[in-house]
Chain A
Amino acid sequence: MKSENIQAQMRKGILDFIVLLVISRKPIYVSDILKELKTHELIVVEGTLYPLLGRLKNSGLLEYSWKESKAGPPRKYYKLTKSGKEMLGRLSLTWNNLNKSIDSLRAC
């Protein structure tokens, strides 16, 4: 197994969490999600977001509204639903716990 594969798996695991986190700030559409991630040094291939967002929406964690745009077709602006916010809370907790465990592992 190459290290890139393990690293990719690690990133994939938290992608849902990251996306929910970004959307929780304000209604946002795909291109801006990518830009936001990039400023925080998280590079994601655009194509992977579409299936992911579709899945989250179908699970009831996201909802979207249409906004007209000058240069092209209308855009989907996503925001968290109530269950989305709850899920985000749980995932944040999971992340914090993991973080603590790893820190303590490394410490000894």
Chain B
Amino acid sequence: MKKTFSITLAGILFNIEEEGYVKLKDYLDSIREHFSEFEGSEILDDIEARAAEKFSEKIKPSKQAVTLADVEEFIGSMGTVEDITGEESSGSRTDSSGKSWKEKKLYRDPEGAMLFGVASGLANYFGIDPVLVRLAFLVSLFFGGAGIIIYIILCLIVPEAKTTSQIMEMKGRPVNLSNLKEAAEKKFGQAKKNISVSRPFGKIAKKVRPAIKRIGQFTAVILGVVLVIGMAAALLGISIVFANLLFNADSPFLAFSGKEYILSSEYYLAVTSVFFAVFIPIFFGMFVGISLIRRKWTLKLTAGLLLLFGWIISIAAVGVFAPRIAGRYQEKMQNRKNSETVRDFDIRVQGI
């Protein structure tokens, strides 16, 4: 079952299925946009009249609504929006294909910017993800900080892409009439959305807010990097420690006293539980770091729940085994101490 819309084309009433309506509306709107008010309305009237004619032929008692297929057939015989609008705009053709690849220009990108758009601009120029560029700058901090100087130099030298045609040169799209119109329309659409938000402090807030937001985002990314590196190191460290505790427990190199008393199956279980109890939060911390860098929450709900569940179990296990082992350890240590004092006493007694 399909929903239909009631439309008139050149004064003739049609029922048209929803999908057909959307497609037809899109087609007609695109054509209308391209022409001036005056000539556009007449051209559209003609095209609508033609549509009315064609659709009238398709309507009969057994088929009472215009379908998507009818619309597509109509558009097919009429020609694409480009065919129709291309005829009249000979001024915008830079070369006959109209889609020439243009050299990109390096600009600072104000739209994708975190601080000053340096990374975003570079990313646009080379066609890579801005995250990679930012990461490169941050990593360079650890290697003598040359990155900061380069960043500042770029910030001063590279111009910001302010006008629409500059933005298009930055992205490498050919600057011709249809692209400019597209870009302007997009911007207009965004501006409309912004107008509806009320700003209590007006001009000052306008300038300060984005700067604060950017500094906040910047710190978040740095924090993220620190977290990831730190957590990864911690993970490596505790993995080594616990691996040793598990597999090399009986090696003479591990010197903690009384270990001969606590090596048992319970011991291994306890160590494993402690390992997970420590590992999981560190692992989680790493995910938080990654999420900060990517500015997007990177942990899926099921995975998160699994981690949480695993952690609770390991804590419980620790809670069970640790006291038992501790108890046994204490017991044994107590016994050893007792036997040692007995020996001491013996020796002294004998030495009289």
Contact = CB atoms under 8 A, between A and B. Distances in A.
Contact of B78 (A5, A46, A71, A75): A46
Contact of A48 (B11, B79, B96, B97): B79
A55 B88 contact: yes
Contacts of B260: none
Interface string A38-72: 00000001111011111100100000000001011
Interface stretch (A6-14, A86-94, A96-104): A6-14
A102 to B, nearest CB: 21
A27 to B, nearest CB: 16
A23 B11 CA distance: 27
Contacts of A76: 46, 49
Contacts of B97: 2, 5
Contacts, number: 78
Contact of A73 (B42, B49, B78, B79): B49
Of all A-B residue pairs in the complex, the 6 with the closest CB atoms, nearest first, are A47-B79, A5-B96, A45-B79, A47-B84, A72-B53, A73-B10
B83 A48 contact: yes
Given A30-B50, A51-B84, A71 B79 contact: no
A50 B46 contact: yes
B225 to A, nearest CB: 50
A50 B78 CA distance: 10
A9 B96 contact: yes
Given A5-B96, A45-B79, A72 B88 contact: no
A69 to B, nearest CB: 7
A1 interface: yes
Given A8-B96, A47-B84, 16 more contacts: A1-B95, A2-B97, A5-B96, A9-B96, A31-B50, A45-B79, A45-B84, A47-B78, A48-B83, A48-B84, A51-B87, A52-B87, A53-B46, A73-B11, A73-B12, A76-B46
Given A8-B96, A73-B12, A51 B35 contact: yes
Size range of the chain B interface in the assembly: 20 to 34
Interface string B321-332: 000000000000
Contacts of A47: 47, 78-80, 83-84
Q: Is the interface of B mostly helix, strand, loop or mixed?
A: helix
Contacts of B52: 72-73
B178 to A, nearest CB: 15
Interface residues of A, number: 27
B39 interface: yes
Given A12-B87, A30-B46, A45-B78, A51 B56 contact: no
B43 A51 contact: yes
A52 B35 CA distance: 12
A9 B95 CA distance: 11
A71 B50 contact: no
A54 to B, nearest CB: 5
14 contacts: A2-B96, A31-B53, A45-B78, A46-B79, A48-B79, A48-B84, A51-B84, A52-B88, A54-B42, A55-B39, A71-B56, A71-B57, A72-B49, A75-B49
A46 B53 contact: no
A1 B78 CA distance: 26
B77 interface: yes
A74 B39 CA distance: 20
Interface string B294-329: 000000000000000000000000000000000000
A66 to B, nearest CB: 10
A106 to B, nearest CB: 24
B79 to A, nearest CB: 3
